[in-house]
Each structure stands twice: as C-alpha cells, then as structure tokens.
Structure 1
Amino acid sequence: MPDQSPEHTPLIEAPKSKLPAIIGAVVAVVVVVGLVVFFTTRGGDDKAADGTKLTKVTMGIVDTGDPYWKTYQEEARKQGIDLEYKKFSDYDQPNPALSQGEVDINQFQHIIFLASYDVKNHDDLVPLGSTATYPLGLYSTTYDSVDQIKAGDTVVVPDDDTNQARGLVLLQSQGLIKLTDGGTPFSTLKDVDTSASKVKVKALKADLTPTSLKDVAAAVINNDFVEDAGLKFSDALATDDPSDPKALPYVNIFAVRAEDKDNPTYAKLVEIYQNSAAVQKGADEASGHTAQFVKIPQAQLQKSLDETEKQVEDAQ
C-alpha cells in the first residue's frame, strides 16, 4: 500500500488559467483593427473620392446654421476641396480676417459693403464671383402693414453704412421718411429730414435689429437674421426690389485678397456654388425663396467695385 503520509502525498498541479491568453488575443485583435481603421480612414481625410489629395480652404461666413453650408462643404469635397468654415456673428469681422490671412476667402457681403471696407481701411480685397441678390425687408410684430405705423413711431435700420443706406431708401420708398439727398447707396441718418418724416429712425447692429422689434414699431432686418428671430420672409411689410438694374452693387459675392483673384481652387468654389443644384436649392430655401441667383463675370464685378469705391471716396 502506497505511503500516504503528508510528506509523501503526491502533489496535484492546479489547472493553468486561460485568461491571460484570451486577453492577449483580444488586445492583439483590437490593435490590428485599430491599425487597419487608422490607415484606411487616414487617407479618406485628405483625399477626394477619386483618390486625389484634398486642398484645404478656410472660408469666412456669417453663420446662421443654414443646412446648405453643409451641403456646399460636401459638394466641395467631391471636387477635391477640404472646405472649412470660420464662423462670425458680426459683419465687421470677416473682411479683416481675410485681409490678415485668418481665412482664404469669404462669402457674406455685397459689393457696396466691400467697397466701403476697402476705402475706409485702405485695403484691396476683390470680388471673385457672384452668388445672389437678396431683398431687404421691413418687419414688425406690432403692425400688419406699413399704413398702420403711426406718426412719431420709431423704426430701426442696421448701423453698418451700406445696409443702413439701403434701409433708409426702403423707408423712403414706403413714405415713412424723407431723405435730403434723395436717397443714395451712401445715405446716413444725417440725411433724414426729421421735419418731413413720419417716423423717427434709430440704427443698431444688424444682428440686434430683430430683438428690437418688441420695443419699436418696425425694423429693417437683413435676410441672415430673419428666421433666427422667429420670423418668416413672408412676414415682411415691405421689401426693396433686387431685380432693379441699379441693384448690381447689392449682389452678394465671394471675396479674396487681390493676389488670389486668379487662384483656380477658389474659382472652383464659385463654380460649385453657382452650378450645384443641391447648393442652390438649399440656399434658396434658406432665403425663404427670395434669393435671385446670378452669374456675373468677375471683370464686371470688379468694374462695379471700382466705380462704387470711387463713389465712397467722393461721399467722404
């Protein structure tokens, strides 16, 4: 009989755990999958659908969250452009950002606005291509028609020079004020003939005009801020006429630094905007179907800018 004393009791080896091996296998799989994802998606970040390397462009916009900006970005990527946006809330910001190289191109302004900026800042930003003309509207949460606005009421217009002048001309066309200069792209509050005007006029930053409606009779509001204020474009009591031949200086444009006016990538961005049905549809919807899209040659835009800058200089 075998000796069963403690010192002779056979040792039974404990079963080896398989956990370390399993963990090791899982880690290995995760690492492999991670590497595959990294190398397959890394190329997708900087390459277009056809495999060509994307060209990065930063565009300055006054963002209102309209969905078509995303559509435009996607369409640009198909054409080999990695389009990024730098968003501004104030119209006075995108041009200095472009001039200082913070952005490569911007799209938010019309020709008169650019002309005023260039002259006042001794800059040479230029138009690259056209987008659309948008009517400027007069809105109210107090009245349903212009005729209901009472004598002595206060009406607000944007305070930037170009939109202020356009707003004042609109008010004059509706019989609310009289301008001593007859109404020009450079009219200011100083040109309002208070004794011959029905209402008082106050100027506020463009993004603040909608919030002023609770305190005033009416306000001239830029298209960019209409829907943000909970209004509909159809709510406008009156609008100016963007189809007027004199409206060319109010055509919205892409702007670049003078040395970039022949840049083919930036020119392609203009073409995408003008020719993409998806982008045009989105921009039209964002404007409440008020946008009038135009394709104006760069040379004609530049001529209009030159003429308008001369008018700005003469008006100073």
Structure 2
Amino acid sequence: MNLRKFGSLALAGALSFSLVACSNDSGSSDASGSDQKLSLKVGTTEAGSKAWDVIEDEAKKNGLDLDVVDFSDYTTPNKALAEGTIDANAFQHLKFLAGYNVGENQHLVPVASTYIVPLSLFWKGHDNIDGIEGETVAIPNDPSNQGRAINVLVGAGLLTLKEEGLITPTPADIDEAKSKVKVNPLAAEQTPVAYGEGKPAIINNNFLGRAGIQASSAAYKDDPNSEAAEPYINVIAAREDDANSEALKKFIEIYQTPEVEKAQAEDTDGTSVPVRRPASELQAILDKLEAAEKDGK
C-alpha cells in the first residue's frame, strides 16, 4: 500500500499547539498519604491565549497543581517532553508530531484530541468559488501547510492529482491538464498580499487578523470531519510511560470542558472545531503519518 495514501483505514479518532520539573510524585499522594494532590507541568506556545487562562483557572478549581510553561518556538516543546523536563505538551497537530518522532527517533504519543482549525480559501469580493476556473491560487509554501493547501483545492474540485489520496502532495503532483486552477506557492505571510491584489489565496488563520480579513469571509474551507483533515487534529502529547497518569487524565478533562472550548473559539475568531476522538484512534492516525514520513511521502 502506498503510504502517501490514507487508503481505507477505519479511524475513529484523531490538525496549533505546558512545564514544574517532572518528578516521580506527579499525580501521587501528599506526604501524609491522605488527600491526593495532583501536579502537572505542561508546555505550550499559546500561554497568553484566553483558552489557557481558562485552563489555569479550571485547574485551580479542580485541585490540579498546573505549571504552564510557554515556549517561543515549535521545536522546544517536544524536545522538553522527550527529555522529561515537562509532563505533556499541547501545541501541535498529529502531522507535526509525526515529523518530530521520525526525525528525532522518538515515540511521543497523543493522549487526547483538542480541536482542529479548517484551512480556508479567500477571494476578495467572493463568498464562494463560482467563476474561479482559470485563476491562479496563492498557497503557503512551507512544508507544514503546502500539502494541506493543495488537498483543500482537491477537495473543492479545483485540482486533480496525478495520484489520488496523497497525504502531502506538492505542486509536482498536480495534473495541470485536468485541473481548473493553477497554484502559486508563496511564503505564508505573502498570501494575504495576494488576496489584497484580488487573487484567490489560501491563508493560515494566524495571518488573517494581521491582514484585517474575517475568517467568516472564506469562499471555501476544508471539512474538519473529513479523513483528509485528520493529520491536522491538534492533540495533547505525552511520553508513552506517562500516558495514563491521573494528573494527565485530570488535565485532559479540564481541557475538554465547554468553558475552554468557548475560549478557544474566541481565540480563533470562531473557526476552531472541537474534536473528541479516542487516544487509540489518534495513535492509529499517527502511525500512518509516521510510516509515510519515513518513506519521504
């Protein structure tokens, strides 16, 4: 089976993106052995968001001693988790985690899903894709988003690939003769510029606000419930040996409350979609992505 393809894998569970020094007493009883005091050190890149403010408040209310460590880059949170200086992290989607595990020969695991943010096509003055045939669509050219952007256009019926079901297609995989549009890969921060010039563009959420573009004005967006979107489900990750700790279970319970969901929606201009899929199914998706990553697909 070509590992670039999702194939027919039946997946029910899974798309972003916290740290006390890790110790053996995380989730253990206090010195007296009476009341259980749980503590957890979690890494994220979004500690200043409304969602994390709510998470910290809910942790206090629920007796979880939560130490949130904010990272300024996307490389360090997984390294810190693998080295044991944090207990878990919440900042990434499954595809990013797969790339880290394969590249660094690690085995961090997804213990819970959080949310997914659809990737959207914007076209100034248009609220749908009628009449877009023949246009050139600007897409982000970074490895994390280019393949997804191409698959968004495939899902919209605008592009045809030479081979169906590719997880991370590149422009070279596009069958131009059978496609209705062309693509112009640009640095992600340049896609809003193309939009401003009247060209259709696929734009990452984090660039919308800076460009004054409303997420609700998208002409098309991918289906967050589709199989093609599964690699982009955001997850909470942990070391395999700690995946069932009581402190981590409590953190997951807090993260998945309606209060946190509401704050996440505010942080993402209403675009985040909560995802609740079992850890076993998230792991199945991750295994598939890691296999494809190893094959360079």
The answer on whether the counterparts of 1:149 and 1:217 sit within 8 Å (CA) in structure 2 is no
Amino acid at match of 1:283: Q
- For residue 299 of structure 1, report the CA deviation from its aligned partner: 2.1
Structure 2 residue aligned with 1:155: 138
Select the structure of larger CA radius of gyration. 1
1:238 maps to 220
1:77–1:83 Cα contact (<8 Å) kept: no
Matches within 5 A, 1:132-211: 132-141=115-124, 144-149=127-132, 151=134, 153-157=136-140, 159-161=142-144, 163-197=145-179, 198-205=181-188, 209-210=191-192
Matched, 1:227 2:209: yes
Give 1:93 shift: 5.2
Partner of 1:266: 248
Give the equivalent residue in structure 2 for 1:58.
42
What corresponds to 1:249 in structure 2?
231
For residues 37-62 of structure 1, what are the alpha-carbon distances to aligned partners after superposition, in whole Å with 9 as ceiling and x for unaligned? xxxxxxxxxxxxxx986735132225
The residue number in structure 2 matching 1:312 is 293
Contact 1:62 1:91 in 2 (8 A): no
1:83 is the counterpart of 2:83: no
Deviation at 1:272, TM superposition (A): 0.5
Structure 2: distance between partners of 1:270 and 1:208? 36
Q: More deviation in 138-147 or 113-122? A: 138-147
Structure 2 residue runs of 5 or longer lacking an equivalent are 1-34
Work out whether 1:301 is the aligned partner of 2:285: no
Unaligned runs of 5+ in 1: 1-50
Q: Secondary structure at the match of 2:45?
A: strand
Quick check: 2:51–2:263 contact (8 Å CA) kept in 1?
Answer: yes
Contact 2:192–2:201, Cα closer than 8 Å, also in 1: yes
Give the drift of 1:149: 4.3
- Find the counterpart in structure 2 of residue 125 from structure 1: 108
Q: What aligned pairs does 1:16-35 form with structure 2 within 5 A after superposition? A: none
Q: Is the 8 A contact 1:168 1:187 kept in 2?
A: yes
> Per residue, is there more helix in 1 or in 2?
1
Amino acid in structure 2 at the alignment position of 1:69: W
Which amino acid counterpart does residue 241 of structure 2 have in structure 1? E
The alignment partner of 1:146 has SS state of coil
In 2, the alpha carbon distance for the partners of 1:208 and 1:57 equals 37
TM-score normalised over the length of structure 2: 0.73
TM-score w.r.t. length of structure 1: 0.69
Gap change, CA 1:96 and 1:218, over 3 Å in 2: farther
Inter-partner Cα distance in structure 2 for 1:82 and 1:289: 27
Aligned counterpart, 2:263: 282
More displaced, 106-115 or 217-226? 217-226
Once structures 1 and 2 are overlaid, which stretch shifts more, 133-142 or 165-174? 133-142
- CA deviation after TM superposition for structure 1 residue 156, in Å: 1.6
Q: Distance in 2 between matches of 1:284 and 1:259?
A: 32
Cα offset for 1:201? Answer: 2.5
User: Alpha carbon RMSD of aligned pairs, Å?
Assistant: 3.2
Output the amino acid matched with 2:65.
I
TM-superposed CA distance for 1:239, in Å, is: 0.5
Counterpart of 2:56, as a letter, is: Q
Distance 1:216 1:107, change over 3 A: farther
**Separation in structure 2 between the aligned mates of residue 176 and residue 259 of structure 1, nearest angstrom:** 45
Q: Distance in 2 between matches of 1:173 and 1:311?
A: 21
| Structure 2 CA distance for aligned equivalents of residues 267 and 107 of structure 1 | 14
Change (3 A) 1:269 1:113: same
Of 164-173 and 180-189, deviating more is 180-189
Quote the Cα distance in structure 2 between the aligned partners of 1:203 and 1:102: 37
| Mapped partners of 2:158, 2:148: distance in 1 | 14
Shift of 1:122: 2.0
